[in-house]
Amino acid sequence: MFMTDNVFPARRTFMCASAVLGSAALLTACGDGHSEADTPEASSVPKPTGQSQVVMKLADLEVGARTSVQAKHPSGKEIPVLLFRPDEKTVLAFSSVCTHQGCVVTAESSQDDFFCACHGSRFKPADGTVLEGPAIAPLVRYATEIKNDQISVYVTES
Ligand code: FES
């Protein structure tokens, strides 16, 4: 039997996701291919676990706005985290690791979405689901907390 696409893309996806935590230059090496993901539904917001970290003032993120902030990953590295404020009392946070091949997803988009420039995937800020592929799986969610006009995020390993 042959080595199939099922073998190499999984390894490449892992390597590209790892590159997000390392060099941005490596991200451009994450070429075309298909996603190994097969769960298109939005993941649920996780329970807060571990240490929270303040990432910005609530007043600096208007209702309806999305942005990207730097936060500390459990590995100790600074990583971008995507934020969206759907209403007065809620801020949602997502991993910026694209579920296609691991490039960095940004809030800098011409549309009301999160965008991955590597291959054009678009994600819905309200729940992280895919609006446009090639990505299939939704963005990983992080728990958030609003206290004393500050937004805190619980960044997890994923
Ligand atoms: S890595 Fe391909 S669309 Fe994001």
Class of domain 8-154: mainly beta
Ligand 1: centre distance to CA 16 (Å): 10
Ligand 1: centre distance to CA 121 (Å): 6
Give residue 39's pLDDT band: very low, low, confident or very high (50, 70, 90): low
Q: Is 131 within 8 Å of 113 (Cβ atoms)?
A: yes
Q: What is the pLDDT of residue 49?
A: 84
Q: What is the pLDDT of residue 132?
A: 93
The pLDDT of residue 94 is above 80: yes
Please list the residues that pair with 65 across neighbouring strands: none
Sign, Cα dihedral of 153, 56, 78, 15: positive
The pLDDT of residue 131 is above 70: yes
Q: What is the pLDDT of residue 34?
A: 43
Structure tokens at 129: 């689901």
Angle at 69 (CA atoms; ends 27, 141), nearest 5 degrees = 80
Average pLDDT over residues 106-120: 92
Torsion from C-alpha of 130, 55, 14, 126, nearest 10 degrees: -10
Output the residue whose Cα is nearest ligand 1's atom 3. 119
Given the CA of residue 32, which atom of ligand 1 is nearest to it?
Answer: 2
Return the higher-pLDDT residue of 134 and 8: 134
Q: What is the pLDDT of residue 40?
A: 67
